[in-house]
Amino acid sequence: MRSRVAVVVLVGLCLLTGCSSERRGTPSSEAVVAPSPAVSKAVISATPGDGTQEVPAEGPVKVTVAQGKLISVRLADAKGGEVAGRIAADGSWAPDGRLTLATPYTLDAVAEDAAGLKAAQHVAFATLAPEHTFAAFFTPEDGSTVGVGMPVSLRFSRAITDRAAVERAVTVTADPPVPVTAHWFGNRRLDLRPEKYWAAGTKVTLALRLKDVQGAPGDYGTQSKDVHFTVGRSMVSTADLDAHTMTVREDGRVLRTLRISGGSPEFSTYLGAMVISEKYPVTRMNSQTVGLGDEYDIKDVPHAMRLTNSGTFVHGNYWAARSVFGSANTSHGCLGLADEKGGSDSSPAGWFFEHSMVGDVIEVRGRDGDQVPPDNGLNGWNLTWAEWRRGSALGLH
């Protein structure tokens, strides 16, 4: 009974005092609406878009902004490793280098408009996981000591169509410094050398930065490696086919003059500078492997050192009469030195084998014979420096 009286009294009070919305202002049933915050006019655009997969290593990755300017951009891989980049004169941002393949990335950009209001953009993408890769097999070996004629020679596991991209990813530096230039022999071989033979004692570094470099459509490099080698003493020998002699010089000083037998008139020895690329205490020489049918098959050729890929060697010879050395050219194109069956260290061939190393040079001279092709072995020295430079994919002249 008491609560009913309270309700009546309350209604009466409202009637007496005029509890209306017109007198009190805002209706009690409506909430007060706060003003909207100011929004930046800057509009950020990022390439690639959020969620993009199989982005090539070379991108493109780019950030632009309209009606504002970029303040910061951070591009990082899943481990937090940041990719350096810079804002260009037009206000856009791009990374300084290539991305790593098969890697997820996040990109965070911040920009501001003329009023100083900031806008942000977050993008996540992943780079391509290639199905096909290529590698470079290099000569000489890491840590080796070689002769003054040894070029750096790379042979690729796949054919290279973008030679310029691959060549830019390969550098050779020397101490003491000397300019080194690359030359392509076809689409699978790249050699690098200075204008003249290396100076004795030079320390050379090959830097392979082929990882994620696209050598051909869909084929990406896998290597990021440094190779170091040292140039030993200078040994350059001169083989005179007409005089049937080979003069051996070390650091310009004559060590010994050896009697030789070169290629016969029918199978003349190549002329030109030839580099020792391999050494074998004993090897088999079969004429069928060099396209000469059943001319010969010698299973135990001693003290053999390769000069060309096609089968030219300087080697010991125990089967010919000693009288031919120094007087007649009787071989199938090789340079023969007197030796004994099984190889004798005290023979002319044994002495020359022990005093030689991979990378030493034999310069062959004579009235007859063809010039050795520069890609037949490590024999690019037979090109002039101008010819060599024209073999670069970087437009050198």
CA max distance for the chain: 148
- What gap in Å lies between CA 14 and CA 20, rounded to an integer? 9
Contacts of 327 (CB under 8 A, 6+ apart): 244, 259
User: What is the rounded distance in angstroms from the CA atom of residue 287 to the CA atom of residue 285?
Assistant: 7
How far does CA 98 lie from the centroid of its chain?
Answer: 14
Residues shown for the chain: 397
Sign (positive/negative) of CA torsion 277, 283, 286, 289? negative
Q: Say if residues 24 and 38 touch (Cβ distance below 8 Å).
A: no
Token pair 């691959």 in the structure block, residue: 166
Q: Which residue shows structure tokens 């959020």?
A: 50
CA torsion through residues 20, 21, 24, 27, sign: positive
Residue type present at position 21: S
Question: What DSSP designation does 300 have?
Answer: E
Q: What 3-state DSSP class applies to 1? A: coil
DSSP strands (E only) in 261-340: 272-275, 278-286, 297-306, 313-317, 335-338
Tokens 């706060």 correspond to 34
Cα–Cα distances (Å) from 381 to 183, 273, 274, 373, 377, in that order, read 11, 6, 8, 10, 11
Contact 246, 240 (CB under 8 A): yes
Task: Identify which of 124, 125, 105, 97 has the alpha carbon closest to the alpha carbon of residue 213.
Answer: 97
Provide the annotated active-site residues. Answer: 315, 334
In contact, 157 and 134? CB cutoff 8 Å: yes
- Cα(39)–Cα(37) distance, integer angstroms: 6
Please say whether the beta carbons of 147 and 361 come within 8 A: yes
The alpha carbon torsion through 200, 203, 208, 209 (nearest 10 deg) reads -140
